[in-house]
């Protein structure tokens, strides 16, 4: 007998499976189907075979599986899907979770350790889930003299602001949650909102170390916002638009980092400072001010702030990709969808299966997403790398770097962009 | 109730601009102690180190145990540096009991104490790294000191608290082929710590952060009575291994590392240079050591010391470490007093932190080569 299950009985095993099956079917029929109905009620239904799909007709996919794909495609065109799943929150959260895993394992390899190892059998891949469960199950402690409404709201607003940032990022042609014409201005607006959340949360905690951390974060973010905005002006000058999708589309033949390397470097450094990553993690410097503005957060409030931080990290890396590395543009590496499956169907022996609604995603979209993800992961890697190499810098060095050096370099970058524009090399009507 | 309060209890007038921070004892940047810091904006106005949270009464305990049973608990103040902490006590007890130590035992003691100096300094360096936010510099020394811990385990049987030095020599002889293993591990260790230069000591951010911060001038270093690496970083060539050689240090070839700057960077660099010197000492000692012979003089049961007092001191990882033993012809010493380098170095902290930025506090504090448990004893 094995040690793990000393009293194993096959009948009980079968009984437990049947129990689970019973509850699954009961819950699905009581909650799942009504919920699906309600969701379908709010979705604009497609026209299939000449008849408008209704929520009741939509459920016919259970009897006729060939109706599944059109319904899924109809669902994918809705705003709900865009916000919750693909270019929006779900996709970003998935990449953020991957970032946390890669950060832990990469740093561990760099520092001659193993990193997460046991949770999830394969290289500790479920460690993050375990941490999340731990944070959810912990007690949330609010300081007695805290300003409670603001203190409660701060982590939620932080995640909300990070998600708003994510919503502005175009992932593939046409795949963006909010395709606004002043997208870059909206990005600046969202970035400008983060210091307010930080100072509010740290002040409302009514504690000394969070207060010092919040003041530091305020100094850092405000002084690095100016070089950040200035470093992106070069791209705006050359493209003549603020729409992020158009900026990404304008780099179909070459990315802007070739012509504006100084702007890219300045943006990368300011990005590290805005993200509070080492060497600029002064607001969370643990040996000086415990955990900075996060000191009083406990349980899932801390978890939410961490989620927001990594969403923000993804959003900044994606912004770097969109502005300087060409966004989704790249050589076509995804094979085209075989046409004969659409026209002739799949021949499986004697029967031929016709699947309407194929292909689900277009070739350009999949290719764009692959390039976008590859570039974003590369940028995230370079954001993570300094953590293993650099110590933390001091607040006066940080401010002098931001105000003297980076602003100067950002202006040099603007002059380069203007020179390229007036020489007629690049920009609207340029020869390249 | 208008009675005059004594000056220590009178309420202080508090400036609105001044904020008092209790850094420790549960703060990640303090160790087992508290630093009461008063800050005006980002600048430290006053600083009051408050040690004593890990007082164990080692000195009083030593009065109830005889000369041999004192050994395991007297090394507790700094378990990473346990050989060096025990060294002055053993030297003093030998003089009181009138024992002559065999030549081979002296060499083994020197090797063990240099290995322990490296083990301690690696631990100290790891914490210095994490205090500056450099997590790689926390993991690398913490991992590399395993080589030397393995050596000490081979030598004494225990990984950290060795209790290896006894009055009259060392507890056990070296295991067979220890010399080869030791030479190999120490050579590799030296190669590794030279790599720390590239990742940590030559790092431009580290240099710009710690240079010209917490400057302790040569005069102040002498006046405040600092010892060890703090004193040597301020330009004073003072190393007890050279000035008052004990055991066989006068027969070995090494030099002391002296830097003139006296800032946090120099103070953090001197122990690192000392580790390379320790590797040289170990290699030289392995070469000169008699290949065979007794390592321990047999003592009478319950040896009684002469009516006398003796003060011996050695150069530990944190500077001069002295032990004063008074004996009154009983099996137990009448009084044992440890004079430790940590406490002497801590005295300099309020002078160094005044006027510094809050961000410099961890680097200045830990560059003083301070070990809270040793200071409290």
pLDDT at B324: 92
To the nearest whole Å, the CA of A218 is away from the closest chain B CA by: 14
Average pLDDT of the segment spanning A269-280:
88
* Beta partners for residue B43, in sequence order: B40, B357
Cβ neighbourhood burial of A136 (10 Å; 0-12, 13-18, 19+): exposed
Q: Give the closest residue to A327 by CA, choosing from A422, A242, A254.
A: A254
Average pLDDT, chain A: 84
Average pLDDT of the segment spanning A373-388:
90
What is the maximum span of chain B, computed from C-alpha positions, in angstroms? 78
Residue A415 dihedral angles phi and psi, to the nearest 5°: -65, -35
The three-state secondary structure class of A118 is: coil
pLDDT tens per residue across span A340-380:
777 777 777 777 777 766 777 788 888 888 999 999 999 99
Question: Hey, are the CB atoms on B209 and A393 less than 8 Å from each other?
Answer: yes
**In this structure, what token pair is assigned to residue A318?**
């994606």
Question: Hey, are the CB atoms on B132 and A112 less than 8 Å from each other?
Answer: no
Distance separating the N- and C-terminal Cα atoms of chain A: 74
The three-state secondary structure class of A112 is: coil
Question: In terms of CA atoms, which chain B residue is nearest residue A207?
Answer: B21
To the nearest whole Å, the CA of A241 is away from the closest chain B CA by: 38
Q: Where are the domains of chain B?
A: 64-344
Question: Hey, are the CB atoms on A287 and B133 less than 8 Å from each other?
Answer: yes
CB A269 within 8 A of CB A408: no
Q: Tell me, yes or no, if B142 comes closer than 8 A to chain A by beta carbon.
A: no
For residue B19, which residues of chain A lie inside 8 Å, CB to CB?
A: 208
Average pLDDT of the segment spanning B203-230:
87
Q: What is the CA radius of gyration of chain A?
A: 26
pLDDT at B9: 63
Least CB-CB distance to B360: which of A282, A391, A394? A394
Q: Which of A47-51, A151-155, A225-229, B14-18 has the lowest mean pLDDT?
A: A47-51
Residue B233, pLDDT above cutoff 60:
yes
Question: Hey, are the CB atoms on A395 and B130 less than 8 Å from each other?
Answer: no
Question: Hey, are the CB atoms on B139 and A394 less than 8 Å from each other?
Answer: no
Neighbours of B171 (CB within 10 A): 18
pLDDT tens per residue across span B322-372:
999 998 888 888 889 988 888 888 888 888 888 888 888 888 888 888 888
Cβ neighbourhood burial of B303 (10 Å; 0-12, 13-18, 19+): middle
Average pLDDT of the segment spanning B216-239:
88
pLDDT tens per residue across span A13-59:
899 899 999 999 999 989 988 887 787 777 666 666 666 767 677 66
The 3 state secondary structure assigned to chain A is CCCCCCCCCHHHHHHHHHHHHHHHHHHHHHHHHHHHHHHHHCCCCCEECCEECCHHHHHHHHCCHHHHHHHHHHHHCCHHHHHHCCCCHHHHHHHHHHHHHHHHHHHHHHCCCCCCCCCCCCCCCCHHHHHHHHHHHCCCCCCCCCCHHHHHHHHHHHHHHHHHHHHCCCCECCECCCCCCCHHHHHHHHHHHHHHHHHHHHHHCCCHHHHHHHHHHHHHHHHHHHHHHHHHHHHHHHHCCCCHHHHHHCCCCCCHHHCCHHHHHHHHHHHHHHCCCCCCCHHHCHHHHCCHHHCCCCCHHHHHHHHHHHHHHHHHHHHHHHHHCCCCCCCCCCCCCCHHHHHCCEEECCEEECCCCCCCCCHHHHHHHHHHHHHHHHHHHHHHHHHHCCCCCCHHHHHHHHHHHHHHHHHHHHHHHHHHHHCCCCCCCCCC
pLDDT at A58: 67
Q: Tell me, yes or no, if B44 comes closer than 8 A to chain A by beta carbon.
A: no
pLDDT tens per residue across span A82-119:
888 888 888 888 888 889 998 888 888 888 888 888 87
Q: Tell me, yes or no, if B57 comes closer than 8 A to chain A by beta carbon.
A: no
Residue A393, pLDDT above cutoff 50:
yes
pTM: 0.83
**In this structure, what token pair is assigned to residue B159?**
């990984």
* Beta partners for residue B39, in sequence order: B19, B44
Q: Which of A43-47, B94-98, B99-103, B331-335 has the lowest mean pLDDT?
A: A43-47
- pLDDT level of residue A1 (50, 70, 90 thresholds): very low
Residue A3, pLDDT above cutoff 60:
no
- pLDDT level of residue B318 (50, 70, 90 thresholds): confident
CB A418 within 8 A of CB A263: no
To the nearest whole Å, the CA of A392 is away from the closest chain B CA by: 5
Residue A79, pLDDT above cutoff 80:
no
Question: Hey, are the CB atoms on B209 and A391 less than 8 Å from each other?
Answer: yes
Q: Give the closest residue to B247 by CA, choosing from B283, B273, B281.
A: B281
B78 Cβ contact partners less than 8 Å away, ≥ 6 residues apart: B84, B85, B120, B316, B317, B318, B371, B373, B374
DSSP state of B4: P
**Nearest 5°: CA angle at B124, between B252 and B105?**
30
Mutation target among A391, A396, A400 for the B interface, most CBs of B within 10 A: A391
**In this structure, what token pair is assigned to residue B259?**
């830097």
| ipTM surpassing 0.85 | no
Q: How many CB pairs under 8 A join A and B?
A: 82
Q: Tell me, yes or no, if B205 comes closer than 8 A to chain A by beta carbon.
A: yes
The Cα B224–Cα B227 span in angstroms is 9
**In this structure, what token pair is assigned to residue B65?**
């145990």
Least CB-CB distance to A288: which of B138, B199, B362? B362
Residue B252 half-sphere exposure, CB side, CA atoms within 13 Å? Answer: 28
Residue B307, pLDDT above cutoff 60:
yes
Spell out the alpha helix ranges (H) of A361-406.
Answer: 363-384, 395-400
What architecture is domain B64-344?
Answer: Orthogonal Bundle (1.10)
Residue A49 dihedral angles phi and psi, to the nearest 5°: 55, 40
Q: Strands of chain B (E only): list them.
A: 18-23, 34-40, 43-50, 165-166, 169-170, 308-316, 319-327, 335-339
Q: Report CA-CA distances (Å) from A308 to A140, A157, A294, A313, B216.
A: 18, 9, 13, 9, 44
């Amino acid at each position: 007998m094995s040690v793990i299950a000393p009293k194993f009985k096959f009948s009980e095993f079968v009984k437990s499976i049947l129990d689970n099956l019973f509850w699954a079917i009961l819950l699905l029929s009581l909650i799942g189907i009504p919920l699906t109905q309600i969701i379908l009620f709010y979705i604009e239904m497609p026209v299939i075979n000449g008849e408008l799909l209704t929520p009741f007709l939509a459920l016919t996919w259970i009897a006729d599986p060939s109706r599944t794909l059109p319904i899924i495609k109809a669902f994918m065109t809705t705003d709900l899907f865009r916000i919750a799943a693909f270019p929006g929150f779900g996709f970003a959260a998935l990449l953020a979770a991957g970032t946390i895993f890669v950060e832990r394992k990469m740093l561990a390899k760099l520092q001659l350790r193993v990193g997460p190892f046991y949770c999830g059998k394969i290289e500790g891949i479920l460690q993050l889930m375990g941490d999340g469960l731990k944070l959810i199950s912990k007690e949330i402690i609010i300081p007695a003299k805290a300003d409670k409404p603001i203190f409660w709201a701060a982590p939620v607003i932080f995640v909300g602001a990070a998600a708003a940032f994510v919503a502005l990022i175009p992932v593939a042609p046409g795949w963006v949650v909010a395709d606004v014409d002043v997208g870059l201005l909206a990005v600046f607006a969202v970035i400008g909102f983060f210091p307010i959340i930080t100072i509010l949360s740290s002040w409302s905690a009514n504690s000394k170390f969070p207060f010092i951390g919040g003041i530091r974060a305020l100094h850092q973010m405000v002084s690095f916002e100016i070089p950040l905005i200035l470093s992106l002006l070069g791209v705006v000058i050359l493209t003549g638009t603020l729409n992020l999708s158009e900026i990404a589309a304008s780099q179909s033949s070459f990315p802007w980092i070739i012509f504006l390397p100084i702007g890219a470097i300045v943006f990368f450094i300011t990005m590290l400072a805005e993200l509070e990553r080492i060497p600029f993690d002064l607001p969370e410097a643990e040996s000086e001010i415990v955990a900075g503005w996060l000191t009083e957060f406990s349980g899932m409030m801390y978890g939410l702030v961490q989620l927001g931080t990594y969403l923000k990290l993804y959003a900044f890396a994606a912004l770097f990709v969109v502005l300087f590395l060409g966004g989704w543009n790249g050589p076509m590496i995804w094979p085209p969808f075989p046409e004969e499956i659409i026209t002739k169907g799949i021949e499986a022996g004697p029967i031929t299966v016709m699947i309407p609604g194929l292909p689900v995603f277009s070739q350009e979209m999949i290719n764009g997403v692959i390039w976008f993800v590859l570039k974003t992961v590369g940028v995230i890697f370079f954001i993570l790398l300094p953590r293993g190499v650099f110590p933390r810098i001091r607040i006066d060095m940080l401010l002098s770097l931001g105000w003297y050096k980076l602003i100067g370099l950002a202006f040099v970058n603007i002059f380069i962009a203007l020179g390229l524009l007036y020489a007629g090399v690049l920009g609207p009507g340029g020869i390249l | 109730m208008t009675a005059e309060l004594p000056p220590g209890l009178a309420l202080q007038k508090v400036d609105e601009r001044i904020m008092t921070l209790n850094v420790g004892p549960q703060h990640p940047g303090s160790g087992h102690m508290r630093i009461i810091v008063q800050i005006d904006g980002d600048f430290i106005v006053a600083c009051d180190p408050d040690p004593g949270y890990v007082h164990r009464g080692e000195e009083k305990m030593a009065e109830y145990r005889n000369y041999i049973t004192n050994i395991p608990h007297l090394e507790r103040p700094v378990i990473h540096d346990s050989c060096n902490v025990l060294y002055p006590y053993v030297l003093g007890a030998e003089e009181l009991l009138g024992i002559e130590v065999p030549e081979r035992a002296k060499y083994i003691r020197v090797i063990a104490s240099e290995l322990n100096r490296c083990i301690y300094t690696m631990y100290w360096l790891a914490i210095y790294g994490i205090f500056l936010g450099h997590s790689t510099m926390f993991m690398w020394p913490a991992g590399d000191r395993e080589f030397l811990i393995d050596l000490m385990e081979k030598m004494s049987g225990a990984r950290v608290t060795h209790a290896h030095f006894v009055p009259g020599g060392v507890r056990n002889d070296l295991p067979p082929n220890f010399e080869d293993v030791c030479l190999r591990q120490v050579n590799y260790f030296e190669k590794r710590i030279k790599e720390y230069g590239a990742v940590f000591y030559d790092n431009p951010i580290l240099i710009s952060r710690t240079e010209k911060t917490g400057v302790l001038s040569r005069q102040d270093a002498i006046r405040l009575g600092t010892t060890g690496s703090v004193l040597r970083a301020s330009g004073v060539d003072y190393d007890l291994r050279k000035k008052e050689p004990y055991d066989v240090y006068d027969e070995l070839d090494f030099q002391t590392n002296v830097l003139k700057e006296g800032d946090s960077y120099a103070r953090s660099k001197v122990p690192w240079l000392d580790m390379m010197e320790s590797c040289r000492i170990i290699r030289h000692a392995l070469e000169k050591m008699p290949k065979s012979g007794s390592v321990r003089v047999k003592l009478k049961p319950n040896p009684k010391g002469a009516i006398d007092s003796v003060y011996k001191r050695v150069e530990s990882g944190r500077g001069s470490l002295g032990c004063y033993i008074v004996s009154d012809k009983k099996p137990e010493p009448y009084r044992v007093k440890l004079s430790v380098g940590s406490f002497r170095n801590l005295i300099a902290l309020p002078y160094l932190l005044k006027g510094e930025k809050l961000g410099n506090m961890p680097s200045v504090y830990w560059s003083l080569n301070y070990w809270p448990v040793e200071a409290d004893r």
